[in-house]
Amino acid sequence: MNKIIVGTGEYIYQVEHPFGTLPPRLSWGNTSHVATDTSGKVYVCQRNDPPILVFGNEGHLVGSWGNDQLMDAHGIFMTPNDEMFVCDRDAHQVVKYDLMGNVLLKLGRREKPSLHKPFNHPTDIAVSIDGDIFVSDGYANSSVHHFSSNGVHIKSWGSWGSDPGQFITPHGIWVANDHVYVCDRENNRVQIFDTNGVYIAEWNGFFHPMDIFIDSENVVFVTDQVPGMTLLDLEGNVITRIRTPFNAHGVWGDIHGNIYSAGNEELVTKYIKL
């Protein structure tokens, strides 16, 4: 197979697909999200047991965990000190783990959905630099929930609709520079708020934006259902656009500038920075 090269300018990538190999005793389920830790290991959420797969950056499986703990791992977030949050969508919970799979914190009541309150099939998590937790609650609610670092609910905002500050499916979320960025999927936009939930602006030009990742250089990566990936600066100016050869549901970047995406039945794709 010929190499697939995507991107423009300073952001050129070689596509490696699929990324990650499993031993014969394990099989892939649908993948939903991916994140990397400070050493470069790659953590993949899948809808199968074990729900968390851990790979070295060359794609060799080095660990797995979570059997019988997670019903439907959907979103994942890795903090700078390597604590991992997982959005357990159909269990209506967010769970914080260490990298060995030990539970550190739980948000929400397992299997107890709540209308307009945490949670009703939540989608994704982001953690601010000071440790506050933000959750997009998007499949049956149309909300963002803000928690303190120790799990105390501070406030919620959002309602169903297409006006500023409303959502239809808030699907991906990120926090950077005291702003909260939300992929409002069915409204084809990314909405931007301050950390108190005050609407600031929105970015358009997407088709069902799925996920958002902002790297240490403040480059914003937004995936959508074209399928594609758009790179922007924090003012919303487009840096480049990529036609992703495979569906990109969740997106994350590693310490080397490579990008990973997880895409349901299309597993994991690595975009190697050239």
129-183 confidence digits (pLDDT tens): 999 999 999 999 999 999 999 999 999 999 999 999 999 999 999 999 999 999 9
Residue 37 pLDDT > 70, yes or no?
Answer: yes
Q: What is the pLDDT of residues 247-265, one digit of tens each?
A: 899 999 999 999 999 998 8
Mean pLDDT of the chain: 96
Domain ranges of the chain: 5-264
**Distance between CA atoms of residues 260 and 271, nearest Å:** 6
CA-wise closest residue to 231 among 247, 219, 243: 219
Residues 6+ apart with CB under 8 A from 22: 28, 53, 61
**Distance between CA atoms of residues 125 and 263, nearest Å:** 18
Mapped onto helix, strand or coil, the DSSP state of residue 185 is helix
CA-wise closest residue to 270 among 220, 235, 224, 229: 229
Report the share of the chain in percent with pLDDT over 90. 96
* CATH, domain 5-264, list 3.40.50.360, 3.20.20.370, 3.40.50.300, 2.120.10.30: 2.120.10.30
CA-wise closest residue to 94 among 80, 116, 77: 77
- Residue 160 per-residue DSSP state: B
pTM of the model: 0.97
Count the helix, strand and coil residues of the chain and give each as a percent rounded to the nearest 5. Answer: 0, 50, 50
**Distance between CA atoms of residues 212 and 136, nearest Å:** 12
pLDDT (average), residues 80-86? 98
In Å, how far from its chain's centre is CA 164? 22
Instruction: Tell me the two tokens of residue 25.
Output: 């005793």
What are phi and psi for residue 17, nearest 5 degrees? -150, 135
pLDDT (average), residues 105-109? 97
Residues pairing with 68 in the sheet: none
Supply the pLDDT for residue 265.
Answer: 87
Supply the pLDDT for residue 264.
Answer: 86
**Distance between CA atoms of residues 269 and 228, nearest Å:** 13
Residue 2 pLDDT > 80, yes or no?
Answer: no
Residue 1 pLDDT > 60, yes or no?
Answer: no
Asked if residue 188 lies in contact with residue 207, where contact means CB atoms within 8 angstroms, the answer is yes
